[in-house]
Structure 1
Amino acid sequence: MLSIFDIFKIGIGPSSSHTVGPMWAGKRFLNELEEKGILNSISSVRVGLYGSLALTGIGHGTDKASLLGLAGYQPDTIDPDDADRIFEEIKSSKKIKLAGVHEIPFDYDTQLIFHNGESLPEHPNAMRIFASDENGIVVYYKTYFSIGGGFIVCADEYNASKSNATTNNDSAEGNTESEIPFPFSSAAELVVLCKKHDMTIAELTIENEKARHNGDLNAVNEGIDAIWDVMRACIDRGTRMKGSLPMSGIKRRSADLHKTLTANPEAMLNDHFAIMDWVTLFAMAVNEENACGGRVVTAPTNGAAGVIPAIIAYYSRFLSRNNQQGIRDFIATAASIGALIKMNASISGAEAGCQAEVGSACSMAAGALVAVQGGTVEQVENAAEIGMEHHLGMTCDPIAGLVQIPCIERNGMAAIKAITAARLAMRGNGEHAVSFDSCIETMYQTGLDLQAKYRETSQGGLAVFAAQQNLIAAC
């Protein structure tokens, strides 16, 4: 079982699996050195990146994140405006302070190695960190896998989970599961539990979360409110910021779109599609911020971080204005839907394509939107299934390894799909031919069947076409 705060984690852009995860891995490696009492005896470190982390690592900021983690920074607390400066200081000085206290030499060009074309058999997002003493002898090393949404596991944990035919659910922050009153492992079980106890999905989710927080509802609500505060701030900043996106030089569009929409508010009375423009704006504003390395919430990933904030903003501005409890219920419902996907399939683009990222976000948003409009638990499950079903087969082929094209627009499109899915489900009675559980399994199997070049490697699809046409200078 996963917590709300496993699915929704505050971090920085541009990628949960390539930025947030590797930063946590570096920080976790430091913790392990400290636990063994050998941190101050380390004279050098070396980082190796494999698979998708290597192929799209620079565009996704994996190199920066790995070193920031080793320097003791965390994605949920580091100031995004400081991240680039600290990274450049490490590169220019050729020194790194492990945990911010133990300074050692570090050469970016020789001690951070991109193993392009080489993958580890267990998972496509892999990294190895080695620590050596003054004689150059490796005294400790560890292999980590970044399995999507900022989650990391070491190789031992990953292999143990596979041998037990279960998914390892340790979060990047190291949360451990406590006893919860309403455990479930499938959508079918969740529906049965809600009906048996006459609870909504949000109510059931909150009860489980209270158990993790010693019955403290205020702590749970404060945590959920903090998630929405970051999402809302990201939308607001994204609609103000102008200029271009890093590395590609692509012009940011959200500020101009916001100016256009606010210049003539009366036009909305005559334009039945204006709300669609607002929803698209909300989503794109978040993902432009993400592309710039800003403060975002993994929802359930950074590449798909704009969908859920866009639908919450749509709900709170156009359907039920400033409804704090409604927003809490939305996030709680979405978290349980995301947990089902994470536990039974994947939210990693490198493992299952963009259907696992944007498709999952759309599914979560659609189900949650039905829930806060008073839909039945069957209608919520139906909406989640519709949202996922119509993203099946979506590839992850970021141009130049950047979380920009097609990622930013794709979030806007998925947000519109989430609204459509919710409306379709609410027009029905919850009965539908394909179960959400079946759709989740289909998504995962489809992802495994995708050729590797379409799973966040930038070696196929739009990424190749753009390189051939020189659409982005960084290619």
Structure 2
Amino acid sequence: MTRIGVFDLFTVGIGPSSSHTVGPMRAARDFALAVSACRADRAITSLHVDVYGSLAATGQGHNTFGAILLGLEGNDPERIEPDYARRRVQEIEAGAAMRLAGTALNFTSRDLQLHPLLVRGAHANELRFRVSFDSGAGVDETYYSVGGGFIEKSGSPALPGSHAEEPFPFDSAAELLAHCTESGLSIAEIMLANEKSQRSTAEVRSGVLGLWTTMRECIDAGFRATGFLPGGLQVPRRAAGIVTGLRDSGQTSELEWATAAAMAVNEENAAGGRVVTAPTNGAAGIIPAVLFSALRANHGRGDDASAVIEFLLTATAIGTLYKKRASISGADLGCQGEVGSACSMAAAGYAALSGGTPEQIENAAEIGMEHNLGLTCDPVGGLVQIPCIERNGMGAVTAIHAARVALHGNGSHHVSLDAVIETMRITGADMDAKYRETSRGGLAVTVAQC
């Protein structure tokens, strides 16, 4: 049983997309490291990069092509500064040499071979890298960006993470709830025990709080920023104006503040800023916004750090189920895989902070997804702006409502979380490809573009 932990599901990267920006950068970096490892003193004579499916179809608006160039130069999405990333891509596109494994190459995004209508492998987000050496040998690798910044290499194990022994392994919500019943532990405590199979309690605590710091910094940046988002649609930033209105009116509604925070994060994401995949960039605003809103309302707690850890570990437990049993990729399952998963995870976290039982938390997660079933991914202009930014605001509100509905019950309900995850998987498989992050259907073709 492969484990997926909190630091697999939540990672720091740059916008606007985990599957189309962060994943391709990681894949290109992994390939660059492979080239360095086997190059020795041989000269690189050629580089070929093929981009398939959704990555090619919406890559321009998702900064995919620039991310590939940055990854080939060895940059890590968790550490690269957004301003440097933008500047370096502009330099390469303007004629500066791109450096692969210490070799200067004249290679820009115009040299990428794009195949937007071709899905030939295990996933719609496919990249193939090939390098030839002067000796005649070379390196040829194929990668899939499978959502949330996760990548898979052809011929390698399907999921990242370790196979370390955990005290409470689970691959279903039923197994998770059984662990809670038998041990008397909460969902967050189950996750903490599993995390401690990898690192100390102090390391888990500091790491989770570090993720929250980055989330909060992203919210604050979005609350301050004004102007228009890049990409040509001339979409204005609205979060700052909403927050000003809330402050001026003395508005304290959790729903209003959650909406503003979610939009703030996704405006930062759309601008290529630093975000936490939660569990994807396209849905990065929902979980931090619901947590932010819950902390503002205090929920009877005096210790924000403990609340943050409980919320994010609970959300992680739910998120691992989506990753293992279905997908969190818009190119796989439409936006139900991104916003739907994030809404479900946030609902679980909110229910946990509100004193919910494991059964009520599972119910909250189920409600959060049930009412996102069938949600398409149809970004206008291939940009993570319309409808993505508002959709995060609505997802945050739905998460809070889902938790509140679940908390009115005793945890008993007709549709299990496992059932709704399977329904989401089947629905996504049945969904026409034009509604799965290709910008060939839905709003992407009915809305006039600038």
1:13 is aligned to 15
User: Are 1:198 and 2:209 an aligned pair?
Assistant: no
Judge conservation of contact 2:254–2:294 (CA < 8 Å) in 1: no
1:432-443 counterparts in 2 under 5 A?
432-443=413-424
1:255 is aligned to 240
With 90-99 and 325-334 compared, the bigger mean Cα shift is at 90-99
CA distance in 2 between partners of 1:297 and 1:73 (Å) = 17
2:174 is aligned to 188
Q: Shift of the alpha carbon at 1:322? A: 5.6
CA distance in 2 between partners of 1:58 and 1:92 (Å) = 17
**Alignment CA distance shift 1:289-1:425 (3 Å):** same
1:90 is aligned to 92
Q: Shift of the alpha carbon at 1:450? A: 0.2
Q: Shift of the alpha carbon at 1:9? A: 0.7
CA distance in 2 between partners of 1:46 and 1:311 (Å) = 43
Judge conservation of contact 1:184–1:190 (CA < 8 Å) in 2: yes
Give the one of 400, 405, 411 matched to 1:430.
411
Q: Shift of the alpha carbon at 1:34? A: 2.5
With 38-47 and 357-366 compared, the bigger mean Cα shift is at 38-47
CA distance in 1 between partners of 2:249 and 2:129 (Å) = 55
Which amino acid counterpart does residue 70 of structure 1 have in structure 2?
L
User: Are 1:312 and 2:312 an aligned pair?
Assistant: no
Q: Deviations over 1:337-367 (max 9, x none)?
A: 0001100000000000000000000000001
**Alignment CA distance shift 1:39-1:106 (3 Å):** farther
Q: Shift of the alpha carbon at 1:249? A: 1.8
2:103 is aligned to 102
User: Are 1:64 and 2:70 an aligned pair?
Assistant: no
CA distance in 2 between partners of 1:112 and 1:2 (Å) = 33
Q: Deviations over 1:381-414 (max 9, x none)?
A: 0000000000000000000100000000000001
CA distance in 2 between partners of 1:16 and 1:82 (Å) = 18
CA distance in 2 between partners of 1:77 and 1:411 (Å) = 25
Which amino acid counterpart does residue 241 of structure 1 have in structure 2?
A
Q: Deviations over 1:200-249 (max 9, x none)?
A: 11111011111111xx1111111101110000000000010011011122
2:59 is paired with a residue whose SS is: coil
2:321 is paired with a residue whose SS is: helix
CA distance in 1 between partners of 2:198 and 2:376 (Å) = 36
CA distance in 1 between partners of 2:10 and 2:175 (Å) = 22
Q: Deviations over 1:414-457 (max 9, x none)?
A: 10000110001100000000110010000000000000000000
2:20 is paired with a residue whose SS is: helix
Give the one of 294, 301, 307 matched to 2:280.
301
**Alignment CA distance shift 1:250-1:44 (3 Å):** same
Give the one of 411, 418, 440 matched to 2:399.
418
User: Are 1:278 and 2:245 an aligned pair?
Assistant: no
2:77 is aligned to 75
Identical-pair percentage? 49
User: Are 1:384 and 2:365 an aligned pair?
Assistant: yes
Q: Shift of the alpha carbon at 1:133? A: 2.1
Tell me the TM-score normalized by structure 1.
0.91
2:162 is aligned to 176
Q: Deviations over 1:111-157 (max 9, x none)?
A: 2121122222321010111112247x561111100000000011112
Q: Shift of the alpha carbon at 1:195? A: 1.1
1:41 is aligned to 43
Give the one of 26, 42, 61 matched to 1:24.
26
RMSD: 1.4
1:149 is aligned to 148
2:116 is aligned to 116
Q: Deviations over 1:12-31 (max 9, x none)?
A: 10000000000000111012
1:365 is paired with a residue whose SS is: helix
Judge conservation of contact 2:42–2:133 (CA < 8 Å) in 1: no
**Alignment CA distance shift 1:426-1:39 (3 Å):** farther
1:357-376 counterparts in 2 under 5 A?
357-376=338-357
Judge conservation of contact 2:66–2:109 (CA < 8 Å) in 1: no
CA distance in 1 between partners of 2:134 and 2:238 (Å) = 51
1:213-228 counterparts in 2 under 5 A?
213=199, 216-228=200-212
Task: State the aligned residue count.
Answer: 445
CA distance in 2 between partners of 1:250 and 1:83 (Å) = 22
With 317-326 and 122-131 compared, the bigger mean Cα shift is at 317-326
Which amino acid counterpart does residue 139 of structure 1 have in structure 2?
G
CA distance in 1 between partners of 2:30 and 2:131 (Å) = 13
Which amino acid counterpart does residue 281 of structure 2 have in structure 1?
N
Q: Shift of the alpha carbon at 1:38? A: 4.3
CA distance in 2 between partners of 1:108 and 1:193 (Å) = 50
Judge conservation of contact 2:339–2:392 (CA < 8 Å) in 1: yes
CA distance in 2 between partners of 1:307 and 1:390 (Å) = 15
CA distance in 1 between partners of 2:303 and 2:387 (Å) = 32
Stretches of structure 2 that go unaligned for 5 or more consecutive residues are: none
With 316-325 and 298-307 compared, the bigger mean Cα shift is at 316-325
Q: Shift of the alpha carbon at 1:41? A: 2.6
Which amino acid counterpart does residue 310 of structure 2 have in structure 1?
D
CA distance in 2 between partners of 1:180 and 1:39 (Å) = 44
Q: Shift of the alpha carbon at 1:176? A: 3.1
CA distance in 1 between partners of 2:303 and 2:328 (Å) = 30
Q: Shift of the alpha carbon at 1:40? A: 5.8
1:183 is paired with a residue whose SS is: coil
CA distance in 1 between partners of 2:358 and 2:369 (Å) = 17
CA distance in 2 between partners of 1:400 and 1:183 (Å) = 42
CA distance in 2 between partners of 1:176 and 1:104 (Å) = 36
**Alignment CA distance shift 1:94-1:46 (3 Å):** farther
1:143 is paired with a residue whose SS is: strand
With 177-186 and 438-447 compared, the bigger mean Cα shift is at 177-186
**Alignment CA distance shift 1:419-1:93 (3 Å):** same
Which amino acid counterpart does residue 169 of structure 1 have in structure 2?
L
Which amino acid counterpart does residue 132 of structure 1 have in structure 2?
S
Q: Shift of the alpha carbon at 1:107? A: 4.0
CA distance in 1 between partners of 2:46 and 2:83 (Å) = 28
Q: Shift of the alpha carbon at 1:276? A: 2.0
Tell me the TM-score normalized by structure 2.
0.96
CA distance in 2 between partners of 1:280 and 1:428 (Å) = 25
1:153 is paired with a residue whose SS is: strand
